[in-house]
Chains A and B, each alone.
Chain A
Amino acid sequence: MVLFMMMVGLYASARGGFLSASSQARRLAAQYAAEAGLAETMESIRPGGFSIANGTLTGTLSSGATYTVEFKDAPPFEPYHSVNNLNNAFGAADSHRGPATVPPSSALIIVRANSGGVERTVEAVVSRGTGKLITGNAIQTSGTIQMSGDVNVDGIKGMSEQEEVPGNIHANADSGTTVEWDSSGSNARITGTVSSLGGSIDLSGYTPMGGPASIGSSAPFRRQNIQQKVGNGTGVDPGSLVVGSISLTGEQKRSGDMTVQGDLELDGATLYVEGNLLVNGSITGQGTIYVNGNTSFQGDSNVTAHSEHKVALLSHGDVTLSGFDGTSYLESIGDPGFQQDFQDLQTALSDLNSSLADPNLTPQYLSQQVKGIRRVISETHDQATNNSYAQANGMTHDTLGRMLSFLQTQPPDTSRDFLLDKLTSLHGFMNDIRENDTVTTLSQLERNRLVQEWSDNPHQRNYDFEGLFDAMVQSGNPQLALQDVTGLMAQLDHNRLGNSFFQGLIYTEGSLHASNEVSIIGALYVNGDESLPSRTLNGVTLNPGDLVLDSGVSVTFVEEFFDGKESGIALSGNDGLGVETWLGR
């Protein structure tokens, strides 16, 4: 009898164990089914512009597990009701968790799943802009890195908080010389580390500030599926050739090649280019460019006062940065008068920046002393006799205007036209403002209107605002003038008028070659696709993943661009939609 009882007990125990194991397996399967439902929901709400507010999404997996998501946009809420607040950037929405519990630009998604009779619920807050590049390096490649000229690699936490973070360089190449810097006559400043997976690193004896170069580590490199994104992308066709500046909004798609002879500005736009992209100007604004072919970018010194400007340029093919070297062009002009004006212009711009950077700068000083400097740069009406700054420095008014007149007499070519375009903008920006070119200055009302227009268009703050500088320094809003003019002018490097400038991310799956010095505020990533062909430039073979910087580079890594938060550059699919917080998993 005892033996019988023991056997029955053993069997019951084994059966209980079996039921428990089966239940656990079904519970795990239900959890994965719920996560499948979450992924499908994120995909489903994207094509409609995140517009699903009411309705039910259901799905069945091949294993038989099912999931359900039920959206509701108004109370009363049950614990299984999801709330879509993705289209509301300014206010939190209510949910079953209480009032204002779904943050702006977010959705609370609750997925109920069932596998073999076992139910599981997953609850998460998803939001836009959570696409992450899992890397903290300023420059990262899957191939080799070759650098010549001055190298400056540093980093800051964010555009509005200048706290320093290390500027690192890493190559995932594992043989040969993986990272090389030719130091001849040049300087290096790397505030972080230099590392590679294998091979050797040759920095011509330079030791980075983050410690000696190291071998043996591999950095994860998230691949961006550019081909597929371009293939799936839709939008308005911007045309194959754009002459002059263009501002794009919304979704744009070019089926073939695209050439922009001027500045390309993105106002929250996404641009898909099936073929090659050539931009003979600057790329500014906020948005993303996906290029299936090769990208050639001839940037310039066009600057922006908007700290939130950031462009993600993602190219499946090779990237060539032949940044226009305006300084060399200007220095090569042999006319003594032109060179004197050029020298005075640089001095005036330098003095202007110093004055604006003065912490004791007052509105009075701004409108009086700074005005004198401005007139040396651009003033088409008055002479310099009453300008104490010009008199003290032996300068005359309108140096930039005379330079432009001289450039007009030079044989037309791309370089001259390019510089004319850029310097004309700067001249207009700095010029005295007159009504109908008469001696009557603009009224205070008109000045304030111009300043207000600038203030109301944060994505278009550039030198195209004719007379803005003058209007600002004499406006009725000196605090705005101080803040914005200082911000804009601080980004103008008087020593390098005309060189490449890029704010955001450059990412390519081919190789990257820069023939002129490039300045990047953001990051430079080369993640080679081995199926792409190699190319040869100046006798050097570049394989996919290789990076060659021929004439120096300055990269300031901006951590907030890549931290996966809303202020960053959104890269992954679902328009950067990702899980912000798991509330139940």
Chain B
Amino acid sequence: MTLVEVVVAFGILAVAALALIAAFVSGMKLSAHSRDITIASEVAKQVLERTRDELRMFGFDCIPAGTYSFDGRAGDFPIGIPPFPPGPYPTTRISDQDYFVVVTGEEPAPGRLKNVRVDVYWHGNSHVTMETKFSP
């Protein structure tokens, strides 16, 4: 085996190894992203379901009237009794990962219909969105 052959062999091996490492890293990232999407969806779901429960127990006023925005990344405080947005707003930490909750909404039919949109962010701009409407 000549030196050239050895170098070429190492080169091929290195390229293959790099490709494998890249595939491995990419796979790990996808796996982590999948987990983040699943967790973030569950966080958004919890906010909406708790809003629904509190509406059932305390009435339509537990959701703010008009247009509103609560940004968990900016540390906006919940308002009212019971507090809106409900937990896990403003943030929840799972497996060393922070998930920030942003709740926005409007009232297309005053007193009769309210939109609630929940965005859950992680790693900067990665996010999932759940949105629904509530009637009294």
Are A13 and B27 neighbours in the complex by a CB distance under 8 Å?
Answer: yes
> Which of B28, B40, B132 lies in contact with A35, CB distance below 8 A?
B132
Could you give, for residues 95-136 of chain B, a 1 whenever the CB lies within 8 Å of some chain A CB and a 0 otherwise?
A: 000000000000001111101010000000000111111111
| Residues of B contacting A131 in the complex (Cβ-Cβ under 8 angstroms) | 136
Q: How far is the CA of A247 from the CA of B6 in the complex (A)?
A: 105
Report yes or no: A21 in contact with B38, Cβ–Cβ below 8 A: yes
Q: Do A225 and B61 touch (CB < 8 A)?
A: yes
CB of B31 within 8 A of CB of A220, answer: no
Neighbour of B131 across the interface among A13, A61, A228, CB < 8 A = A61
Compute how far the CA of A335 lies from the CA of B110 in the bound complex, rounded to whole angstroms: 61
Select the stretch in A4-12, A323-331, A392-400, A466-474 that faces chain B: A4-12
Q: Is the CB of A40 within 8 A of B20?
A: no
Chain B 22-41 against A: per-residue CB contact (8 Å), 1 yes, 0 no?
01101111110111011011
The answer to whether A194 has its CB under 8 Å from any CB of chain B is no
Q: Is A573 an interface residue (CB 8 A)?
A: yes
- For the complex, give the distance between the alpha carbons of A28 and B113 in Å: 21
- The docked-state distance in angstroms from the alpha carbon of A11 to that of B58 is 48
Residue of B nearest to A113 (CB): B132
* A450 sits at the interface (CB 8 A): no
CA distance A18 to B37 in the complex (A): 8
A21 to B117, CA, bound (A): 20
Known contacts A28-B41, A232-B110; decide if A40 and B133 are in contact (CB<8 Å): yes
CB neighbours of B60 from chain A (8 A): 223, 225, 572-573
Q: In the complex the two chains form, what is the Cα distance from A506 to B118 in whole Å?
A: 37
A469-512: contact bitstring with B at CB < 8 Å (1 yes, 0 no)?
A: 00000000000000000000000000000000000000000000
Given contacts A17-B34, A43-B135, A225-B59, contact A24 B117 (CB under 8 A): no
CB pair B112 A15 closer than 8 Å: no
Contact in complex: A63, B37 (CB < 8 Å): no
Is B16 on the interface with A (CB-CB < 8 A)? yes
- Tell whether, in the assembled complex, residue B111 and residue A228 are in contact, meaning their CB atoms are under 8 Å apart: yes
CB within 8 Å for A223 and B62 given contacts A14-B28, A25-B128, A573-B112? yes
B37 touches A28 (CB 8 A): no
| Residues from chain A with Cβ under 8 Å of B117 in the complex | 61-63
Alpha-carbon distance A225/B135, docked complex (angstroms)? 12
Of all chain B residues, the one with the shortest Cβ separation from A219 is: B57
A3 lies within 8 A of B61 (CB):
no
Q: Is the CB of B38 within 8 A of A134?
A: no
* Interface-central residue, B34, B44, B115, B134, by most chain A CB under 10 Å: B34
Q: Are A224 and B38 in contact, CB atoms less than 8 angstroms apart?
A: no
Query: A220 to B57, Cβ gap below 8 A?
Result: yes
Residues of B within 8 A of A225 (CB): 59-61, 111, 136
Report A322-366 CB contacts with B as 1/0, cut-off 8 Å: 000000000000000000000000000000000000000000000
Check: A32 CB closer than 8 A to any chain B CB. Answer: yes
A33 in contact (CB, < 8 A) = yes
How far in angstroms is the closest Cβ of chain B from A552? 31
Which of these, B27, B110, B111, contacts A10 with CB under 8 Å?
Answer: B27
The interface residues of chain A lying within 8 Å CB-to-CB of B130 are 28-29, 32, 63
- Chain A CB within 10 A, most for which of B26, B34, B38, B132: B132
Q: Judging by beta carbons under 8 Å apart, are B37 and A220 in contact?
A: no
Whether the Cβ atoms of B37 and A25 lie closer than 8 Å is yes
Interface status of B73 (Cβ within 8 A of chain A): no
Interface residues contributed by chain B, number (CB under 8 Å): 45
Interchain CB contact (< 8 A) of A36 among B34, B131, B136: B131
Q: How far is the CB of A218 from chain B (nearest CB, A)?
A: 11
Q: Is A402 an interface residue (CB 8 A)?
A: no
Is A443 part of the contact surface with B, judged by Cβ < 8 Å? no
Interface residues of A in 220-259 (CB under 8 A from B): 220-225, 228-229, 231-232
Is there an interface contact between A4 and B16, defined as CB atoms closer than 8 Å? yes
Tell me whether A21 and B61 are in contact (CB under 8 A).
no
Q: Report B-chain residues with C-beta under 8 Å of the C-beta of A25.
A: 37-38, 40-41, 128
Given A24-B41, A61-B117, A228-B111, A17 and B31 touching (CB < 8 A)? yes
Interface residue from A11, A28, A37, A40 paired with B23 (Cβ < 8 Å): A11
Q: Is A270 an interface residue (CB 8 A)?
A: no
Please state if B31 and A36 are interface contacts (CB–CB under 8 Å).
Answer: no
Residues of chain A contacted by B50 (CB below 8 angstroms): none
- Per the 8 Å Cβ criterion, residues 39-82 of B in contact with A are 40-41, 44-45, 48, 56-62, 65
Bound-state CA distance A223–B82 (Å) is 11
Cross-chain contact A229 with B27 (CB below 8 angstroms):
no
Supposing A32-B131, A223-B58 touch, asked if A573 and B30 sit within 8 A by C-beta, the answer is no
Q: Roughly how many angstroms separate A220 CA and B59 CA in the complex, as a whole number? A: 10
Bound Cα distance A7, B17 (Å):
10
Given contacts A4-B20, A22-B37, contact A17 B30 (CB under 8 A): yes
Contacts of A35 in B (CB 8 A): 132-133
A225 to B115, CA, bound (A): 17
Query: Provided the pairs A7-B24, A134-B56 are in contact, do residues A32 and B132 lie with their beta carbons within 8 angstroms?
Result: yes
Bound-complex Cα distance A39 to B112 (A): 9
Of B30, B38, B40, B136, chain A has the most CB atoms within 10 Å of the CB of: B136
Query: How far, in Å, is A530 (CB) from chain B's closest CB?
Result: 9
Contacts A11-B26, A36-B133 given: A43-B58 contact, CB under 8 Å?
no
Contacting residues, chain B, for A21 (C-beta < 8 A): 33-35, 37-38, 41
**Nearest chain-B residue to A17 (Cβ)?**
B34
Q: How far is the CA of A435 from the CA of B126 in the complex (A)?
A: 87
Chain B residue contacts of A223, Cβ below 8 A: 58-62
Which residue of A3, A42, A62, A220 contacts B20 across the interface (Cβ within 8 Å)? A3
**A292 within 8 A of partner (CB):** no
Point out the residues of chain A lying under 8 angstroms from B45, CB to CB.
Answer: 28
Interface positions, chain A 19-58, Cβ under 8 Å from B, are 20-22, 24-25, 28-29, 32-33, 35-37, 39-40, 42-43, 46
Give the residues in chain A near B65, CB-CB below 8 Å: 228
A to B CB contacts below 8 Å, 23 in the list:
A3-B20, A4-B20, A10-B23, A11-B24, A14-B30, A17-B34, A18-B30, A21-B33, A21-B38, A29-B129, A33-B132, A36-B132, A40-B113, A43-B112, A62-B115, A222-B59, A223-B62, A228-B111, A232-B111, A573-B111, A573-B135, A573-B136, A574-B135
Give 3 nearest A-B pairs by CB, closest first. A573-B136, A223-B59, A228-B111
